Amino acid sequence: MHVSGGRKACVLFISRFLLFFSLQTFEKLLIANRGEIACRVIKTCKKMGIKTVAIHSDVDANAVHVKMADEAVCVGPAPTGKSYLNMDAIMEVIKKTRAQAVHPGYGFLSENKEFARRLVSYFYLLGYPVMIKASAGGGGKGMRIAWDDEETREGFRFSSQEAASSFGDDRLLIEKFIDNPRHIEIQVLADKHGNALWLNERECSIQRRNQKVVEEAPSTFLDPETRRAMGEQAVALAKAVKYSSAGTVEFLVDSSKNFYFLEMNTRLQVEHPVTECITGLDLVQEMIRVAKGYPLRHKQADIPINGWAVECRVYAEDPYKSFGLPSIGKLSQYQEPLHVPSVRVDSGIQQGSDISIYYDPMISKLITYGSNRAEALKRMEEALDNYVIRGVAHNISLLREVIVHPRFVQGDISTKFLPEVYPDGFKGHKLTDLERRELLATAASLYVAEQLRSQRFLGTPRIPIAKSKRSSWELSVRLGDGNYPIAVSKDGSSFSVEVDGMKLNVTSEWNLASPLLSVTVDGTQRTIQRLSRNASGDTRIQFLGTVYKLQILTKVAAELSKYMPEKAAEDTSSILRSPMPGAVVAVSVKPGDTVSEGQEICVIEAMKMQNSMIAAKTGKVKAVHCKAGDTVGEGDLLVELE
């Protein structure tokens, strides 16, 4: 298959292991087999313009596959153990002929794990870094980047285990990893009559753990010429393999708009709704029509780009832990933002649904559409603010920060966007001084509104109650490390709030029974969510997507609180707690063992992803509180050090 710049792609097939040379100039393939399968591979390579090297025993010197190949090398006498199963001899031929991939056919070494391992030790042809990933699936599961031999061995272990757990198939691919690319894919649609279309591109570069988080269509990066070239090659691939149905051809695109074939997903992609939004096609309907045998109803010239669409994947995850470790629980309250114009929500859950450790943590796909990108992003911002999810942690704070970040708004993105923008991990929205004052004024007004509501009675009480005529309050609000004196006065249906010596006007309908509150501060409208409160004045408010913890007290109560002792923080350096709910896959230590800082202690699997838990310091193991097969919750104690 030809891709940009004349590069070619080839696959090394081994039943246990697949080595994929998709991003390196590829000219020569060695066939580690004989007979009809060797002839079959050589014929295919000739069509692809790839030179071939045949190996043979001495008695096969005049075999058909030997004559067909561009080069042929004898690897030993007739006994298979001395020829076609002779790994040392075959490895020498690979080095001597500078073959860049191996096709083992079937039988012989095709399912030999040791042969696969030796080929991986030889992948210096690729050069580091490399991507190790599951051949049978996607979604970031069974995928690791390795920068050296040690990371490759570790990546092989974790990736093969995740692949087996997620897809029932532990085969892997290794491919050259291109640092800092864009991930752009082409949607194709083909029928059983030889017709195929490309339905424009999807930009999928915002990823965490190699799994897409935010997608959009079209891409800000592609010009019409590059879009057409990528589309034509995607269609050529579909036709070459006689593909029929909807499918996706994925590419990596560098800063010079060179694009490199990554893989083809022969299924419906998670992010297909953004394509449906800008083309007007129902891809599921088209798949059903094609399966029934109908020809495509459209021509390439009929496929438009109308407007812009953005999709955010809403996950039950804690984005403050490695950009999203799984969260489990029951959705105690759930309300989709369908009242926002041009919003689509694809979900399979409802209020009361359980999010478990056993399946993918996706809650929904949130899609917004606009006549242009700015409009689609503004609607997404509004939709995220109006999305009510209670009972599990979720990643709305991260999604909102991504779509409003200046780099994303300008289209300056790559697959490394998240680690580049948040090198120390995601910390939530960083308030400006103005936003801080807005939040403090809103929280103080909400507190007073609740105080006033608690003084109202329905009906006529039997005992007359004196009505409070109080119209001003002096409060102390703690936010983060700061304590702020705040004065609130009621002015008709609004509040006048003094923060930092500045007065702000706060208005709202103050429907405290609603999970959503629309509040206007000095003319700026915000949609907030008050998530919790208690008698100690502690309250949690979702503001600009991020949840902030505040403590709101009267001035007198704040003075008295100084005399209350604070609970000492736990020393976490000597203990290892599970950062997420999951199942213990392996425990690598026992009491009395000495461990080094950074050494693996155990492995936790959650939602088919394996996570290595490491020691925070060097020390001796005091106690182990888990074993392989145990189910653990977030915060459960796993191991103690002396």
CA distances from 205 to 26, 378, 472 (A): 26, 20, 51
Q: Supply angle C-alpha 430, 553, 452, rounded to 5.
A: 105
Both tokens assigned to 297 = 């109803």
Taking CA atoms, 390 is separated from 125, 257, 351, in Å, by 51, 43, 9
Ramachandran sector of residue 391 (left: φ over 0; alpha: ψ -120 to 50; beta: rest):
left
Residue with tokens 């007290």: 553
Strand order in the sheet with 211-217: 259-265, 245-253, 182-190, 196-208, 211-217, 308-315, 362-370, 343-347
Of the candidates 102, 168, 13, 4, the residue with the CA atom closest to the CA atom of residue 608: 168
d(CA 587, CA 589): 6
Strand-by-strand arrangement of the 101-103 sheet? 71-76, 51-57, 28-31, 101-103
Contacts 24+ apart (CB under 8 A), 127-130: 127/176, 129/177, 129/179, 130/174, 130/175, 130/176, 130/177
Q: How far is Cα 429 from Cα 426, in angstroms, rounded to an integer?
A: 9
* DSSP, res 189: E
Given the residues 201, 250, 263, 605, the one annotated as active site: 263
Instruction: Residue 85: name the closest of 118, 108, 59 by CA.
Output: 108
Tokens, residue 268: 């419906």
Number of C-beta neighbours around residue 318 at 10 A:
22
Taking a C-beta distance cutoff of 8 angstroms, is the pair 134, 123 a contact?
no
Beta strands 10-13 and 600-606 are unpaired
Contact 226, 213 (CB under 8 A): no
Structure tokens that stand for 402 in this block: 């991504």
The answer to whether residue 92 is catalytic is no
Q: What are the backbone angles phi and psi of residue 470, rounded to the nearest 5°?
A: -65, 135
Please provide residue 250's backbone torsions phi and psi, each rounded to the nearest 5 degrees.
Answer: -100, 140
Type of residue at 471: S
Quickly tell me which residue has 């990108």 as its tokens. 373
Give the catalytic positions in this structure.
263
